[in-house]
Amino acid sequence: MSSPEAKRRNLGRGLDALLGASDSSPAPARTAPAPAEVRPGNDIATIPIGDIHPGRYQPRQKFDEDELDALAESVRAKGILQPILVRPHPDKTGEFELVAGERRWLAAQRAQLHDVPAIVRDLTDKDTLEIGLVENVQRQDLSPLEEAEGYKRLVDEFSHTQETLASIVGKSRSHVANTMRLLNLPDEVKTHLLERRLTAGHARALLTADDPAALARRIVKQGLSVRAAEKLAGEAGKPKRQRAAPAAQADKDTDTLALERELTEATGLKVAIQHRGESGQVVIDYGNLEQLDDLISRLVRPLT
């Protein structure tokens, strides 16, 4: 049985499984028919570049212009070495919608090619979004925000669960959950993410900040590390907890203190029990969103 780590290295089911390929070997090229005769299958066809339209489910929103120019030079010199993936266009008879390989398609246009090699597949909208997401995550082409929006579309439009998404892209469920939380950030912070001025680690720290936009500006201006951002984001509430702790600790009996230690060891997180007569509360401190997601997962698992 393969380990979870091995599965993640293979990125979930991978493109081959999503496409239903029987093996990982490339399909043999064949002489392309006229555009009207192109049919879905495993063969590589040559399709006029003007008959291919951008994919409505493409998760990537921004492309580096210099990288596209460099790829266009390569395409101009050597052609497209790997075919793009398309499906019959849902609204335009005889034309096609791009599923995977948008960078190659854009570079081919810059290189002024008239046609491109492509594999045509009959794919559902769900399949199209999944494949586009896997391809870009595989190559680390997506910004954290683009990745989060791709996950959200699969959840909202196709009723995927976080567990299903994790399996598809070969990530942990906590990674999927924490990435989707980035969509709750202010628009200013999202722009920094999209422009790659902030990393996903910075953005997760900002989720707990009182003023995420102000802290984001400071991080970008000063070039702060993720650790520094986490420290700044947590400073606001820290003094209050520290002042309250000694008084609360003095009121606790030995049984309560022992139970706190037992719960802390069981969860791996600091646990405080506060009695108020017959009632009270249990407070669990977490240091980052991964710890929170792991705790939630452990608490709800017996109920599902």
Q: Which two tokens stand for residue 71?
A: 């790829």
Q: List beta partners, residue 100.
A: 85
Residue whose C-alpha is closest to residue 12's, from 176, 175, 167: 167
Burial class (CB in 10 A: 0-12, 13-18, 19+), 289: middle
Per the listing, tokens 């699969």 go with: 154
CB within 8 Å of 256: residues ≥ 6 apart: 273, 275
Q: List beta partners, residue 52.
A: 96
How far from each other are the two terminal CA atoms of the chain, in whole angstroms? 25
Distance CA 47, CA 36 (A): 10
Pairing mode of beta strands 84-88, 96-100: antiparallel
Pairing mode of beta strands 115-120, 84-88: parallel
Q: Which of 97, 102, 130, 260 is catalytic?
A: 102
Helix (H) or strand (E) holding 40: none
For 39: left if phi > 0, alpha if psi spans -120 to 50, otherwise beta; the answer is beta
Per the listing, tokens 């002024």 go with: 112
Alpha helix ranges (H) inside 27-78: 65-78
Q: Using DSSP, state whether 64 is helix, strand or coil.
A: coil
Q: Does 65 qualify as catalytic in the annotation? A: no
Q: Using DSSP, state whether 113 is helix, strand or coil.
A: coil
Catalytic residue numbers read 102
